[in-house]
C-alpha cells in the first residue's frame, strides 16, 4: 500500500555519526565523552549550545561535540598497555 510508510529522515540535531567520529577519533571515546557530558547536563550543568532540550541530555552532548564546544582527550594514565 503506497503512502503508508513514512520516509525516514535522519535527525539534524547533532548531524552525522561519521562527523562526530572525525572530531573525537574513535567510537569508544565518543560514547564515553557523550556519557560523561550527558551526566553533567542531567546534574544541571549549562549546555554549551543554544536550543538544546534539557530532557535530551545525550542529544545535547552529541550536539556539543559536533559544534566542537568540548575539550575531549584521552588521559594517558588510564590507557591500558
Considering the entire predicted model, what is its pTM? 0.74
The three-state (H, E, C) secondary structure of the chain, written as one string: CCCCCCCCCCCCCCCCHHHHHHHHCCHHHHHHHHHHHHHHHHCCCCCCCCCCCCCCHHHHHHHHHHCCCCCCCCCHHHCCC
For the chain, the domains span 17-75
Each residue's pLDDT tens digit, 28-55: 999 999 999 999 999 999 999 999 998 9
In this predicted structure, what is the pLDDT of residue 11?
47
In this predicted structure, what is the pLDDT of residue 13?
55
In this predicted structure, what is the pLDDT of residue 2?
58
User: Percent of the chain scored above 70 by pLDDT?
Assistant: 81
Each residue's pLDDT tens digit, 7-36: 544 444 566 888 899 888 899 999 999 999
Question: Exposed e or buried b for every residue in 34-44, given b needs 16+ CB within 10 A?
Answer: beebbeebeee
Amino acid at each position: 500500500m503506497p503512502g503508508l510508510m513514512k520516509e525516514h529522515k535522519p535527525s539534524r540535531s547533532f548531524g552525522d555519526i561519521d562527523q562526530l567520529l572525525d572530531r573525537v577519533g574513535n567510537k569508544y571515546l565518543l560514547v564515553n565523552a557523550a556519557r560523561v557530558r550527558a551526566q553533567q547536563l542531567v546534574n544541571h550543568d549549562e549546555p554549551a549550545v543554544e536550543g538544546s532540550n534539557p530532557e535530551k541530555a545525550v542529544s545535547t552532548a552529541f550536539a556539543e561535540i559536533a559544534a566542537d564546544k568540548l575539550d575531549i582527550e584521552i588521559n594517558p594514565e588510564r590507557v591500558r598497555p
